[in-house]
Structure 1
Amino acid sequence: MEQVQSKYKIEIIESMHSMPPGTVNEIVLIDEKGIELQDLLTQIEGQSDSSIVYVVDDVSNAKQAFASAHGMHIVRANALMSYLEEIHTDIHKQPVLAFWGVLPQLGTTTIALAVANQLALSTGMNVGILGLNLYNPGTSFAHDVTNTLDDVRPLLSLKQLTPTKLRESMQLMSQGVWYLPGPRNPLNAMEYQPEEIAYLISNAKQAFELVIVDVGSILNTAAALQSLVMATLRYVVTKDLLECQERFISQSQYILKSLSINTEEILLIGNQMRQPNHLRDYAKTMNVLPVAAIPSFPELPYYSENEEDKLRLYFAQKKFKQAIEQIVNAFSNEK
């Protein structure tokens, strides 16, 4: 493994006998050519104070699952430098807001765009929105879209994307808000790799003062999982239905837990709520933090279908606007 230059202390492990006991470095790189996957557990004992990174030539689903189960990171060798840059630079602290829905069609795109619009308006921030729901491009709010995630994919694969190129590829939605919709073809959803998504978000953090990722509701893609891992604030969007609660519990047990995401750190947005005043009680059953409740507006999607500025109709609803302002205020206070 090539020597890695960093201002942070790094231990590079290339053989079964090269890891000193009780290493407490900030990051430990382990080369798969020197230590096989089956031998890793023995080697990382006593390294709980370190960040373990297993460096491989190829990432498989099995390797990814094994690493997640044991609290390690797994990175391709050709993406190691960009990975280290991402986790150990100042932009790592820059805010990334992730919105995901417990079920499909719960309005994550609408909420992400509305929050970005309100943040840009109230704070003057430049906000970039990444459509990382790979099963739905989220283009209904964006007219005359010329670029989607598909169009920047080659730049991700070749590591040739720059913050400037990314910004130029995104659509200006309103003053201070840029948007890159998801891919046109959902059949390509499983082809995106974690390091490509990490590279995309890293560039977005350099291009904008704040990044919002629209995750969608299907958490089986690298885009969705990497977005949740890199987010500084995670918002789950749900209805007040038992099936939503059960779905969230399933996600928390089998997905969030493996990503080391604690439900107590997740913020709840109730959307299409039948009883918005029950948000607090609903949050308690999910062990999350309530932020805002948006009532159901069943006729609004029909009215807005042919409108060029759909958000204008949503913001005209007093309770919708109040909920978005609550979300923005919660972020502003956290920041």
Structure 2
Amino acid sequence: MNIVVISSNSVYKELFDKSNDVNTVLLWDSIKPATIEIDAILIDGEIFDTDQFQLVRENYPQIPVFYKPRPIHSDLIMRDISRLCGAYKIKPLNEHATTRQIVEELINQITNKQDYLSKRIVSFFGTHSGAGVSTTVQNVGRALSGMIHEKVLVLSLNSWDPSDYFYHYKGEYLNDLKVDLKTLNLTPARLAEAVSSEQPFYHLAGNRDIKMQRFYQPTEIEHLIEVAKQLFDVILIDAGTHFDTAPTVQSYLSSNLRFLVTNQEEKGYRGYFPHVFHQLIEPSGGKSNDFMLIINKFQPANTMISEKALEEELNMTKAATLPDMGDLGAMAAFQKKLLYDMSSDSIYTKNLDRLSNLIISECKLTEKDTHQEDKKDKRGIFSIFKS
């Protein structure tokens, strides 16, 4: 495969050169005739304006073309760029993606391979604040870790919610690692020291520094996830609802199994999330079927929206329905216990187990013997390094 990269960033060429699927990479600063047969073109918006799209198609009418916009932080401008790309049959890429992710996405699309995407990173998003993303992720982590041999990390990447209140958390926080992330010097040993191991799963709580909420960069979160992959077998990400922040966007880009958590509040499924989807996700090439739906705190009342109607409203396939546990949920929060441990053999735990089965199948994880006694593993921090 021969690739043309129109950019001043030589890192693109270096990354493409490392791929066994790429034969030749040409780094250009403008459109020009090619002396070899070209299979795809990557255009960097940092040096290439959209008004040159016509010139691209005049020279290369049939070749797949990908466009990486420069970070513009405007949903209206991004929407117009997406429309221009559609007019010239150019594939827009996410403006917040790192160079490595751009290269992987292009190779993945041209070769139809999935090898470049992690199979064991699962992200959970919410239709709105209060949908129950953090509660769901924590309890899925509890259910899943009890069913498999692999090490599970719950990674809280919601910049507005550290999710440290479900049990007596004793680890560090995302903002405590900011310097390591900014310098790209986070090591597995440092991450092992930071995570909590008080539950059957490991957990890194999210940001609790209000001043840092919008100051995490795409490369920092990408670095964190890459280091976490060296330590843990499966990573469950609490990505929150803010698709205009680097932690949430990187959670979306880094995973190929994504869940959207909602409830029966109209402000989420009909108010906030549709705007997020049409203004931020769809212009970058995202689709509603990128997500599977989790309905949280469901109440089967005639006066409230039904499960089927929620699927149709959001145009997603339902993965699980978690019932409203009423006072038991409040008791679990007060006692600093996970709801999964307080609702044994309930519909809630059974549906969480089914959701875990889906993750086990998708991520090809190794299940424990069903007759094995459920033991609470009081592990030391550095047991993470043991296979």
TM-score, L = length of structure 2: 0.73
Q: 2:160 aligns with which of 119, 126, 135?
A: 135
Q: Does 1:99 align with 2:120?
A: no
Q: Does 1:6 align with 2:30?
A: no
Aligned equivalents of 1:41 and 1:279: distance in 2?
Answer: 44
Q: 1:195 aligns with which of 203, 212, 219?
A: 219
Deviates more, 1:84-93 or 1:108-117: 84-93
Q: Is the 8 A contact 1:68 1:259 kept in 2?
A: no
What's the secondary structure of 1:191's corresponding residue? coil
What's the secondary structure of 1:297's corresponding residue? coil
Report 1:216-227 matches (<5 A): 216-227=240-251
Q: 1:37 aligns with which of 49, 65, 78?
A: 49
Per-residue CA deviations over 1:23-42 (Å, capped at 9, x if unaligned) read: 324x736484xx34355534
Q: Is the 8 A contact 2:340 2:349 kept in 1?
A: no
TM-score, L = length of structure 1: 0.83
Q: Is the 8 A contact 2:166 2:333 kept in 1?
A: no
- Which amino acid counterpart does residue 15 of structure 1 have in structure 2? D
Q: Is the 8 A contact 1:272 1:297 kept in 2?
A: yes
Residues 42 and 197 of structure 1: is their aligned pair in 2 closer, same or farther, counting only changes over 3 Å? Answer: farther
Q: Does 1:319 align with 2:347?
A: yes
Per-residue CA deviations over 1:126-151 (Å, capped at 9, x if unaligned) read: 11111111111111024243410001
What's the secondary structure of 2:160's corresponding residue? coil
Report 1:156-171 matches (<5 A): 156-171=181-196
For residue 72 of structure 1, what is the aligned residue in structure 2? 93
Aligned equivalents of 1:74 and 1:18: distance in 2?
Answer: 25
Q: 1:332 aligns with which of 360, 369, 384?
A: 360
Per-residue CA deviations over 1:146-185 (Å, capped at 9, x if unaligned) read: 410001111111010133322331111323x111111112
Aligned equivalents of 1:114 and 1:188: distance in 2?
Answer: 27
Q: CA deviation at 1:279?
A: 1.7
For residue 290 of structure 1, what is the aligned residue in structure 2? 318
Q: 2:38 aligns with which of 13, 23, 47?
A: 23
Residues 40 and 225 of structure 1: is their aligned pair in 2 closer, same or farther, counting only changes over 3 Å? Answer: farther
Per-residue CA deviations over 1:196-255 (Å, capped at 9, x if unaligned) read: 112222222222111111011233211112211222111111112333321332222122
Per-residue CA deviations over 1:95-142 (Å, capped at 9, x if unaligned) read: 211111212122211211211222221121211111111111111024
Residues 43 and 61 of structure 1: is their aligned pair in 2 closer, same or farther, counting only changes over 3 Å? Answer: farther
Q: Is the 8 A contact 1:119 1:125 kept in 2?
A: no
Unaligned runs of 5+ in 2: 1-8, 86-91, 108-113, 364-387
- Which amino acid counterpart does residue 198 of structure 1 have in structure 2? E
Q: Is the 8 A contact 1:12 1:30 kept in 2?
A: no
For residue 284 of structure 2, what is the aligned residue in structure 1? 259
Q: CA deviation at 1:257?
A: 0.6
Q: CA deviation at 1:283?
A: 0.7
Q: CA deviation at 1:332?
A: 2.6
Q: CA deviation at 1:93?
A: 2.9
For residue 236 of structure 2, what is the aligned residue in structure 1? 212
Specify the structure having the higher radius of gyration (Cα). Answer: 2
Deviates more, 1:132-141 or 1:39-48: 39-48
Per-residue CA deviations over 1:31-57 (Å, capped at 9, x if unaligned) read: 84xx34355534654576355557x7x
Q: Does 1:239 align with 2:268?
A: no
Q: Is the 8 A contact 1:12 1:29 kept in 2?
A: no
CA RMSD between the two structures:
3.3
For residue 73 of structure 2, what is the aligned residue in structure 1? 61
Residues 39 and 195 of structure 1: is their aligned pair in 2 closer, same or farther, counting only changes over 3 Å? Answer: farther
Aligned equivalents of 1:22 and 1:256: distance in 2?
Answer: 33
Q: Is the 8 A contact 1:13 1:31 kept in 2?
A: no
Aligned equivalents of 2:263 and 2:194: distance in 1?
Answer: 34
Q: Does 1:49 align with 2:77?
A: no
For residue 123 of structure 1, what is the aligned residue in structure 2? 148
- Which amino acid counterpart does residue 254 of structure 2 have in structure 1? M
Aligned equivalents of 2:223 and 2:18: distance in 1?
Answer: 18
Aligned equivalents of 2:275 and 2:100: distance in 1?
Answer: 35
Residues 87 and 317 of structure 1: is their aligned pair in 2 closer, same or farther, counting only changes over 3 Å? Answer: farther
Q: Is the 8 A contact 2:95 2:284 kept in 1?
A: no
Unaligned runs of 5+ in 1: none
What's the secondary structure of 1:103's corresponding residue? coil
Identity %: 20
For residue 378 of structure 2, what is the aligned residue in structure 1? none
Aligned equivalents of 1:67 and 1:212: distance in 2?
Answer: 34
- Which amino acid counterpart does residue 222 of structure 1 have in structure 2? A
Q: Is the 8 A contact 1:101 1:236 kept in 2?
A: yes
Q: Is the 8 A contact 2:155 2:203 kept in 1?
A: yes
Aligned equivalents of 1:261 and 1:105: distance in 2?
Answer: 23
- Which amino acid counterpart does residue 237 of structure 1 have in structure 2? V
Residues 150 and 210 of structure 1: is their aligned pair in 2 closer, same or farther, counting only changes over 3 Å? Answer: same
Aligned equivalents of 2:314 and 2:155: distance in 1?
Answer: 27
Residues 239 and 73 of structure 1: is their aligned pair in 2 closer, same or farther, counting only changes over 3 Å? Answer: closer
